[in-house]
């Protein structure tokens, strides 16, 4: 089991002895235990283990007790804190002063003791000291004897805890940059200072030559490779799709190393060799990210260590893919929540080394524990354009138009929608819920297409599938703007299905060898960027986006406020936005206040 960070629970209390403190000890500890129970029963880490909470050994009434609590939290790997109280306490003495810990305070709404007064006082202290905290105050008054957590309080506690655990999990990890800048894409200019200052992460740079070295020298688990190839024979090679390269002419002067006489298509022997090569690449990339005990047994002590990477990106185009099979299979399968070893936590491997999209995928994965898609935000299809091209006007969820999400690379097979919930609806699952049937359904829904050798001269295999409609999804992206810094944009919506003939006609206008997802964002006439689907597409800030299962926009907004990244575009209701209490001091327009607060407090780790 991984050593995940824990959430510290700080029960604060009125320190006056002789009747006051004694009467509150049981109540205060009961609230702390209730919060810990709520979190551990509802939130899980990436390996499926419950998020652990650590409670202070004593209630905290004075600074010495706050210091003792902090020492315990440091020993226990606490990465964020929630302070709870039902009474007045000494604010600046009892508050959490760690500048890197996301922190929240729940002030019990009861009339017998002034918990709300302490909440307001300590939030003011947090603001004055430059240590933003999230204030949690229940809507309705509770009796002093009531230790239950109201639904509105529980929602905020869990929203904070999900985001805070994501922040703490990223801290101290690495982003592994395999290769360098891809085809001039700015997102693949990996910014080590940004990763360090905003996420507490380091950046590791490895040349793609290292993958070739490990292939040539056999630095991978050979037993696992044989197992993987048996799995590929059964589930992937049997689902190879049409080789469109056979329909493409080989132009004179094109540096193409192999072809079978049918245009640019490879022969069977060459295709089989591509399968073996690309499986080795997948295993090697995983080992570079996470290390391998097997490599240690083989005597490769340095290679066995890995790079402690929680996310990675691989350059691929153009130098690699003009020469060797592409990384589409490794990208798709590493981002999938299973492989030949069965269900496992999905990895984050960004296509084209777009680290900004990789970090966006990581946000979504850490908040949901599910696979994350990497896609081009490729095309907006208006109802009129669909009707002109296909002769049919889209209906239902697609009636207002939709966005075509498609990319050759890291689209997790989870996104086929071939997994089903208890009611038979398409879904995506955390890996500990995935069954053998779920895996087979995803594989059966996926064709492995010989890579388009106009794009990828070295060959390879690209996953091709059509995402089932009706799944709630959130599309997101971090962008960096000169003079402003990072911003995040998001759009909640749903996958949609089209009539088969319409789907085929539209899909083949782009690239029939890549996976397709049709996405309809939820519209909101009160927001310019969401007044129609065209506006969503027109306001998107980059060519790529990360897409995760579920409507998690509110969680993303909370997460970004912890990291001091303003949100420039979203379709979340104001009532669901949960940011630190001192954001209110930066003006009554929520988005403008978010920008001003993030600029004022600066990156979390700088």
Which parts of 325-371 are beta strand (E)?
A: 338-339, 342-343, 349-351
Strands 516-521 and 485-495 turn out to be: antiparallel
Beta strands 103-107 and 544-549: pairing type?
Answer: unpaired
| Set 93, 204, 303, 376: catalytic member | 376
Quick check: is 98 catalytic?
no
Task: Name the token pair of 194.
Answer: 């940004």
Q: What angle do CA 478, 484, 486 make, to 5 degrees?
A: 20
Q: In degrees, to the nearest 5, what angle opens at C-alpha 356 toward C-alphas 350 and 359?
A: 70
What DSSP assignment string belongs to 518-565? EEEEPP-TTSGGGSSHHHHHHH--SSEEEEEES--HHHHHHHHHHHT-
Question: Catalytic residue at 204?
Answer: no
SS3 for 271-312 is HHHHHHHHHHHHHHHHHHHHCCHHHHHCCCCCHHHCCCEEEE
> Residues 324, 274: contact at Cβ < 8 Å?
no
Rounded to the nearest 10 degrees, what angle do helices 268-290 and 209-217 cross at?
110
> Alpha-carbon distance 588 to 360, whole Å?
28
Residue 353: which of 196, 209, 565, 184 has the closest Cα?
A: 184
On the CB side of 494, CA atoms within 13 Å amount to 15
Which of the following is catalytic: 352, 438, 492, 497? 352
Give, in degrees to the nearest 5, the angle at Cα 15 between 11 and 16.
Answer: 145
Beta partners for 518?
Answer: 404
Residues that are catalytic: 352, 376
């Amino acid at each position: 089991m991984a050593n995940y960070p824990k959430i510290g629970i700080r029960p604060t209390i009125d320190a006056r002895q002789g009747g006051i403190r004694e009467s509150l000890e049981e109540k205060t500890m009961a609230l702390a235990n209730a919060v810990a129970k709520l979190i551990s029963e509802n939130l899980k880490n990436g390996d499926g283990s419950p998020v652990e909470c650590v409670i202070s050994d004593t209630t905290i009434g004075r600074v010495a007790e706050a210091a003792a609590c902090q020492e315990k939290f440091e020993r226990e790997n606490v990465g964020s804190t929630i302070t709870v109280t039902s009474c007045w306490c000494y604010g600046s003495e009892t508050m959490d002063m760690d500048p890197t810990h996301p922190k929240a305070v729940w002030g019990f709404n009861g009339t017998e003791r002034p918990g709300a007064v302490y909440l307001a006082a300590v939030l003011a202290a947090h603001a004055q000291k430059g240590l933003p905290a999230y204030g949690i105050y229940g809507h309705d008054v509770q009796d002093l004897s009531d230790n239950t957590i109201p639904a509105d309080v529980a929602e905020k506690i869990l929203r904070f805890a999900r985001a805070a655990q994501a922040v703490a999990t990223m801290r101290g990890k690495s982003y592994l940059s395999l290769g360098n800048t891809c085809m001039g894409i700015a997102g693949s200019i990996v910014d080590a200072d940004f990763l360090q200052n905003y996420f507490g992460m380091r950046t590791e740079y490895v040349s793609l030559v290292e993958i070739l070295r490990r292939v040539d020298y056999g630095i991978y688990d050979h037993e696992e490779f044989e197992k993987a190839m048996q799995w590929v024979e059964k589930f992937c090679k049997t689902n190879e799709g049409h080789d469109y390269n056979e329909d493409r002419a080989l132009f004179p002067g094109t540096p193409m190393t192999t072809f079978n006489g049918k245009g640019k298509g490879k022969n069977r022997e060459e295709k089989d060799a591509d399968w073996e090569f690309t499986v080795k690449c997948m295993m090697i990339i995983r080992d570079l990210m996470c290390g391998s005990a097997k490599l240690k047994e083989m005597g490769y002590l340095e290679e066995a260590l890995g790079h402690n990477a929680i996310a990675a990106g691989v350059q691929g185009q153009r130098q690699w893919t003009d020469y060797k099979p592409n990384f589409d299979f490794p990208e798709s399968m590493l981002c999938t929540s299973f492989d030949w070893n069965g269900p496992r936590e999905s990895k984050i491997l960004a296509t084209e080394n777009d680290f900004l999209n990789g970090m966006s995928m990581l946000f979504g994965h850490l908040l949901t524990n599910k696979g994350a898609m990497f896609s081009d935000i490729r095309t907006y299809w208006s109802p009129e354009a669909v009707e002109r091209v296909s002769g049919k006007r889209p209906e239902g969820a697609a009636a207002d138009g939709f966005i075509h999400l498609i990319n050759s690379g890291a689209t997790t097979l989870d996104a086929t929608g071939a997994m089903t919930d208890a009611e038979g609806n398409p879904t995506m699952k955390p890996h500990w819920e995935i069954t053998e049937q779920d895996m087979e359904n995803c594989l059966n829904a996926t064709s492995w297409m010989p890579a388009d050798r106009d794009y990828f001269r070295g060959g390879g295999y690209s996953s091709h599938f059509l995402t089932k409609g009706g799944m709630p999804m959130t599309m997101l992206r971090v962008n960096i703007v000169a003079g402003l810094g990072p911003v995040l944009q998001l759009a909640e919506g749903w996958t949609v299905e089209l009539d088969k003939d319409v789907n085929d006609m539209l899909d083949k206008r782009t690239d029939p060898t890549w996976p397709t997802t049709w996405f309809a964002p939820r519209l909101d006439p009160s927001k310019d960027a969401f007044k129609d689907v065209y506006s969503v597409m027109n306001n998107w800030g980059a060519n790529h986006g990360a897409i995760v299962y579920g409507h998690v926009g509110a969680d993303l907004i909370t997460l970004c406020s912890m990291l001091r990244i303003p949100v420039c575009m979203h379709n979340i209701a104001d009532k669901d936005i949960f940011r630190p209490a001192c954001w209110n001091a930066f003006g009554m327009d929520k988005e403008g206040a978010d920008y001003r607060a993030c600029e004022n407090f600066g990156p979390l780790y700088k």
